[in-house]
Amino acid sequence: MSDPGTTLAAWHATVWAMLAAGVRDARAPARLPVLATVGVDGWPQARMVVLRAADAVAGVVEVHTDVLSPKVADLRTTPRAALQVWDAGGRLQIRLRCAVRVLTGAAVQGQWGRVPDLSRLAYGAVPPPGAPVPGPGDYGTEPGPGRFAVLRCEVMAMDVLHLGTPHRRAGFDRADGWRGQWLVP
Amino acid sequence: MSDPGTTLAAWHATVWAMLAAGVRDARAPARLPVLATVGVDGWPQARMVVLRAADAVAGVVEVHTDVLSPKVADLRTTPRAALQVWDAGGRLQIRLRCAVRVLTGAAVQGQWGRVPDLSRLAYGAVPPPGAPVPGPGDYGTEPGPGRFAVLRCEVMAMDVLHLGTPHRRAGFDRADGWRGQWLVP
């Protein structure tokens, strides 16, 4: 990804272009954002996820996960997430503040139908993710739609940092229609 | 970084070798971890930082920052952080749960003395980081030791995930002397 441009509108467009690239291209920087949540115990949690959808018009991104993964419990308690992407080539960091809904069951039937068979193995570890086991391979998988969740992340604000000469940074808020504002890096 | 090995002890050693590499090599995967905190407003926050020290014996890592950066306010309110590293080549993710102390002033005089002049520019933006400005370059820098903070991150637990065949995952806790435990990925 190249320079984000010189205007706030160009920066905003760059963010959504990067997110769209992450959805369609497994090698794009935004393919694997870090999702940070507040754990049920109050500790921050951060882990890599796979970006599955990005809708610039609605201002929504989506991540798929196992219903039994701890991040779902985190988000059911505190439905807020931060998503972070670093594009090393473009020296650009994107940070998204998201209000998250955990969708399951009938609400995600369509999405589940489009998950390839091999990918479905990610939704159904037995015992569930995070459980202690005697050896590293001592688990099975019983994938199924009952284990599939979509994290619908409504972007409330974005913070974009470009490390250049000089460093530049901008913030964007849903509340003002994404008009944007330059910030001190 | 290659395969983390087959024993819990080897995995533990791999984590610290990767963190040490991040401190000394600007191109190592652990050079730029994501630091997640709980914001003063209760929202999770995640941003890239530079790893500056890693002490395997003490189980401590360090990050430098501007005293006026929002992450310092976060950590003074909730002194807990998650650090996340993804080694794409080794397909290995490290997650550290850290209790954080914000060190400033006399306590960090030695570290400040070793910060190169050019790097010192990162500690002293005027107005402070995150402040709105009319244009992207409308800020100056007045670096000085009064703006310098060391985030001393005492690692309380580690979660390590290797994406291979099969996926493998291990957890390590300070409480049991880092003995470790295999986990379901």
Q: What is the ipTM of this complex?
A: 0.97
The predicted-structure confidence for B136-164, as pLDDT tens digits, reads as follows: 999 999 999 999 999 999 999 999 999 99
Ordered by where they begin, the domains of chain B are 8-132+150-183 (2.30.110.10)
Name residues 54-83 of chain B within 8 A of A (Cβ). 78, 80-83
Classified as helix, coil or strand, A74 is helix
Q: CA–CA separation, A124 vs A69, rounded Å?
A: 10
Q: How far is CA B71 from CA B41, B45, B47, in A?
A: 12, 8, 9
Q: Under an 8 A CB cutoff, do B48 and A93 touch?
A: yes
Whether B18 and B91 have beta carbons less than 8 Å apart is answered as no
Report the number of secondary-structure helices (H) and strands (E) in chain A: 4, 11
CA-based radius of gyration for chain A: 18
Q: CA–CA separation, A120 vs B126, rounded Å?
A: 50
Q: CA–CA separation, A142 vs A124, rounded Å?
A: 5
- Distance from B146 to chain A by nearest Cα, in Å? 18
Q: Under an 8 A CB cutoff, do B168 and A136 touch?
A: yes
Q: Token pair for residue B80?
A: 């807990």
Nearest to A156 by CA among A173, A176, A171, A170: A173
A136 touches chain B (CB under 8 A): yes
Cβ–Cβ pairs < 8 A, chains A and B: 135
Question: Which residue reads 């976060």 in tokens?
Answer: B74
Give the residue from A14, A38, A86 with the most B CB atoms within 10 Å of its CB, the best one to mutate.
Answer: A38
B166 touches chain A (CB under 8 A): yes
A5 touches chain B (CB under 8 A): no
Nearest CB to A95 within list B37, B47, B84: B47
Q: What is the pTM of this model?
A: 0.98
Q: What is the pLDDT along chain B (185 residues), one digit of tens a residue?
A: 568 999 999 999 999 999 999 999 999 999 999 999 999 999 999 999 999 999 999 999 999 999 999 999 999 999 999 999 999 999 999 999 999 999 999 999 999 999 999 999 999 999 999 999 999 999 999 999 999 999 999 999 999 999 999 999 999 999 999 999 999 99
Kindly report the backbone phi and psi dihedral angles of residue B140, in degrees, each rounded to the nearest multiple of 5, phi listed first.
-120, -175
Nearest CB to A48 within list B82, B86, B134: B86
